[in-house]
Copies of this chain bind each other. A is one copy, B any other.
Amino acid sequence: MKDETNAAPAAHPFDRAIAMRLLPDGNFLARTSDDYPNHIGFFGGYVAAVALNAALSRPDRLGDPVALTVNFAGPLVPGEFSIDIEPLRTTKSTQHWSIRLVQGPEREVKVSALAVFGLRREVWDHTASRPPQAPPAAECAAVPARFSGWFRNYEVRVPGGEEPAGTGELSSWQWIAEKPARALDFCALAAMCDSFYPRLYLKRPERSGVVTVSMNIYFHVDARILSTNGSRPVLAQADSQVFAGGFYDQHGLIWSDAGTLLASTHHIVYYR
């Protein structure tokens, strides 16, 4: 299967993981990656990147990603899956996609996603937010792998090299880059939007299961600006507002080291 996809044999693990084969009907076939396991199923960031990559890989795709919503209906099981993708509507400046990751003889929907692509234009621009005051990545220390899963594909750097668990503060930031180094693109950026330490664990010492139910990403740059980042780490900032009835929110901003807001992300997470 791997040889039939759009990833070169010697490609980066992330490129191999998100590779897919275009079918004559415009849908895709892919296979789960052994490099991005999670406690249950697979890393949500990798799954979001697969969904986005399907739209990016369509020959009739217009412009760059603007918005991506990924709803996690159930965990992918290891093996092959289908990506059903539909261009719902294309206008002069925007394009709407529906994307579903489907698996098994019953064609169970494991992931449902919506994406909006758009053509960005020269127009009045303004950034109201500012990145957090953070020392350069080179002055921070790498966080040891949290667990044996997907985290090994990232180098996360914070002062002192220790994630801020149990401080009672919900807001934190980290430098993050792919390991081994890889030039940042929209798929990698989407995956990084799910790389945050779960906010629940910052506030409540007792560990319990957390599962992202829905993840929303807005992209704020086009492919040209994004490409100027190269493989340099980005500054990822996260916070939460409310934990109520078994669902909590999490929001994040991803900044380039030059202070450009690359993406903002919002999650709703099931917890026990």
Contact = CB atoms under 8 A, between A and B. Distances in A.
A182 interface: no
Contacts of A98: 98, 112
Interface in A51-96: 66-67, 69, 71, 73-74, 88-89, 91, 93-94, 96
Interface stretch (A136-144, A150-158, A214-222): A214-222
A232 interface: no
Contacts of A124: 204, 243
Contacts of A216: 69, 216, 266
25 contacts: A66-B213, A67-B213, A67-B214, A69-B216, A73-B89, A88-B109, A88-B112, A96-B109, A96-B112, A114-B214, A119-B246, A120-B244, A120-B247, A123-B246, A123-B272, A126-B203, A128-B240, A129-B242, A218-B249, A218-B268, A220-B245, A221-B245, A241-B253, A242-B264, A249-B264
Interface of A: 66-67, 69, 71, 73-74, 88-89, 91, 93-94, 96, 98, 100, 108-110, 112-114, 116, 118-129, 170, 203-204, 213-214, 216, 218, 220-222, 239-247, 249, 253, 261, 264, 266, 268, 270-272
